[in-house]
Amino acid sequence: MIKKEYYVISILIMVMVLIMFQSLGVATSLFQQEDQNVYTKQTTLYENSAMTNYEVTDQENIAIYDTNDSYIKDWAIENKMTYHMYENITDMLQSKAELLIIDPKELSQKDYDELYDLKLDGKVLVFTNLPAESYLKNDKVKALLGIEAYKGKKEIHYIKVYDGFFIGQETHYQEDVDLVIPYVSLKSGYKVFMDGYLDKEADIKNEEMPPIFWRSYVHEGLVYVMNNDFMEDNTIGRGILTGICNDYMPYHLYPVVNAKAMVLVNFPMISNENQEALEKRYSRSSISLMRDVVYPQLISIMDQIEMKGTFLFSSRLDYTQTTPIDEDALSFYMTHLNREGAEFGLSGIQRSSLSLKEKLSQDLNIFQKQYPHYAFHVFAAGTQTQAQLNALSNQFQDLKTFFVPDQFSERLFGFLDKKSLFIRSNWTMNQYTYVDDLKLKSLFTSLGMLNMTVDMKNLIYPESDKDDWTVLSKDMSRFASTYLKPYQSFDHTLLSETDQRIRRFLAMDMTHKRVDQSIEVSIKGFEEEAYFILNLHNETIEDCDHATFEEVDDGVYLIHAKEASFTIHVKEATS
């Protein structure tokens, strides 16, 4: 016979188990609220003051001469350093700035004479490219640039990027390299960060390799020289300028976004299109291809790198077609992607010529028929102009993040208006050349961020075998498992989370000072958290007050600040 107290205990255990299962069901139900965007959050809009108050007329940190590359100004702002643009060398040489960035395209012999006569006394000169060939035969110009001799133009097919300049390991590029550059030898006392081979099979000494990017000592100062047009690219240029600061500064602390986002455009799509071509290629309809083949493999690849995705919905690509909408397919994606922690947005890309207003009206009617309370915050732009996106932002108040193509702006991100931010796509999954790898290194070195784009449009309407899912999925898997590996310390984010981090990044300002073995940092405009990279020479971080840290490369640390003031304690590195 069961004793009374055992009976009571048994009843209590049964009740507790029942409550636990009910709670689990409620929690699961809350997490999977398909009718609501669980990432809806009141976004701090921020006034755009941080993008306008760094240009000064004196006491600037950076002096810039005659360059049309607006990214250099943006780079200075992102690093929270003041700058001034100069129209002539004479005025620039009166600047008290430590860093002088010079585009040599418009320099005259008189300008070079003035630069040669300048006593740098600790200043740093950066030449974003080599001057015209005629100047490379001038002794003063060669001496200023650290060149011993000019040997004419040479073709190179192999590039080596040395360890320690960009975040990421030493890299050798052998494929797709076809450059013609001035072949120069350097005076003693130089350091080369990037060079090439005349013949990748030849056994030549390091000092005989054509230098592409180097540093020399001139007049008690440092001169960095780029022997190519790499710095005309606003992504690679950012990485190189950041690497220069990392190289010459005793320590370099600068803010970063810290966000890796994967954006899948025109996915999901819930109508059958291009039926004959897809049946021939895959023996499937477009809906079956996406749901039964593409989706499981996508999730598997994303799981490899523990990444969530931002999926930008389009009901169809060709709005002249009248094939029925598959509401069950939409329900499938909503259920499964919510479980994966994904977010939904809208795509403005199509193959037809329907007005954007009508396209979005059709898509929203279809979506909101099943999910009337779901709020979209992210929109993928196609060929729309800034004026069109501004109008869209005003029309749809929930939209706050506009994902734009590379050609939309020279800037990587910025404000459309006081409410909405544009974020430029800076990576596509269907290509990978040595230039793309330099961009990848530069994005993480300068900003700690990456926006990966996978557009499913060409999967449904393939233009070549490169658009086949077998090829694309292999490229994605290789990129995720290999090329992203050096940057695994940076956070995986949804695009709406990247948006929030960019807003905080733009709005904040910072000051820091070295006191013995400590770096004291103060943040103005701090909200919740901030991220920084610290580059050290022959030192390591011992501890942080009010912040955490992780080493992302040798002597390079990602700092997560949790308060507006924090302190980094460093110590001498042990070999």
The confidence band for 28, taking pLDDT boundaries of 50, 70 and 90, is very low
3-class secondary structure per residue, 2-17: CCHHHHHHHHHHHHHH
Nearest to 508 by CA among 495, 527, 490: 527
pLDDT digits (tens, 9 = 90+) for 96-123: 999 999 999 889 999 999 999 888 888 9
Sheet with 556-561: strands ordered across: 251-256, 530-536, 556-561, 547-553
Residue spans of alpha helices (H) in 371-449: 386-395, 434-446
pLDDT at 126: 97
pLDDT for 493 beyond 60: yes
Closest CA to 560 of 379, 177, 568: 568
Q: Which residues neighbour 112 within 8 Å (Cβ) at sequence distance 6 or greater?
A: 131, 135, 138, 140, 141, 144
- Give me the sign of the Cα torsion angle 349, 352, 357, 362: negative
Give the Cβ contact number of residue 519 at 10 Å: 21
Distance in angstroms between the alpha carbons of the first and the last residue of the chain? 73
Residue type, 454: V
Most confident of 297-301, 353-357, 518-522: 518-522
**For residue 53, pLDDT beyond 80:** no
The rounded radius of gyration (Å) of the Cα atoms in the chain is 27
Confidence tier at 200 by pLDDT (50, 70, 90): low
Q: Which residue has the tokens 């052998």?
A: 174
DSSP class of residue 108 equals: -
Dihedral over Cα of 229, 88, 78, 392: its sign? negative
Q: Which residues pair with 195 in a beta bridge?
A: 160, 211
pLDDT of residue 261: 95
49 pLDDT tier (thresholds 50, 70, 90): very low
Whole-number pLDDT of residue 175: 84
- pLDDT category of residue 144 using cuts at 50, 70 and 90: very high
Q: Is the pLDDT of residue 206 over 70?
A: no
Amino acid 377 reads H
**Which of the two residues, 45 and 244, has the higher pLDDT score?**
244
* pLDDT for 6 beyond 60: no
Kindly tell me if the per-residue pLDDT of 26 is higher than 70: no
Per-residue confidence (pLDDT) for residue 23, from 0 to 100: 46
Residue 42 has pLDDT above 70, yes or no: no
Residue 204: its pLDDT value, please? 54
Query: For 274-431, where are the E strands, in sequence order?
Result: 309-313, 343-347, 378-380, 401-404, 413-415, 421-424, 427-428
Q: Rounded to whole angstroms, how far apart are CA atoms 200 and 562? A: 49
This prediction has a pTM of: 0.90
Strand 421-424 relative to strand 413-415, pairing: antiparallel
Average pLDDT, rounded, for the chain: 89
Q: How far is CA 251 from CA 87, 132, 159, 560, in A?
A: 31, 35, 28, 17
User: H or E element: which one contains 547?
Assistant: strand 547-553
Could you say which DSSP state residue 374 is in? P
User: What percent of the chain has a predicted confidence (pLDDT) above 70?
Assistant: 89
Phi, psi of 518 (to 5 degrees): -130, 150
Q: How many Cβ atoms sit within 10 Å of the Cβ of residue 525?
A: 16
Pair 348, 382: CB distance under 8 Å: yes
- What CA–CA distance (Å, rounded) separates 78 from 329? 43
Asked whether residue 430 carries a pLDDT value surpassing 90, the answer given is no
pLDDT band at 21 (very low <50, low <70, confident <90, very high): very low
pLDDT tens digits, residue range 290-332?
999 999 999 998 888 888 899 999 999 999 998 999 999 999 9
518-524 sheet: strands from edge to edge? 509-515, 518-524, 565-572, 539-545
Query: In Å, how far are 38, 141, 308, 493 from 496, measured between CA atoms?
Result: 11, 49, 12, 8
